[in-house]
Structure 1
Amino acid sequence: MLLGNATPIQAGIVQLYVLVALLAVESVAILVVLEIVARGLLTRFGTHLFFRS
């Protein structure tokens, strides 16, 4: 379906699915980074970022 033989409607549905999936992954990544920063596991000294154990 993705490489050929797909109608324009099917191609549009696939594009919307991919868009929603990318937005969901981005949202999860933002939440993970915010949680790491909020817990103080990720700090900045100068220009270096490092994980504190």
Structure 2
Amino acid sequence: MKQMTGASEVKLKMSIKPELIGGFTIQIGSKIIDTSLQGQLKQIASYLECNSI
């Protein structure tokens, strides 16, 4: 996280969200990195909706 932000110190605020199913999300300011299963399923659903026509 320090490398990503260039900060000398990083403070983590952790919370558990059961709806994520598995994986994790990271929010740095307005940027969100989503590695959760829920996020991956949403990406697949969006991809299939766009390519089903």
Q: Which has the higher contact order (CA 8 A, sep 6+)?
A: 2
Verify same fold: TM over 0.5: no
Bigger helix fraction: 1
Give the TM-score normalised by the residue count of structure 2: 0.35
- Normalising by the residue count of structure 1, what TM-score does the alignment of the two structures yield? 0.35
- Asked which structure has the greater CA Rg, the reply is 1
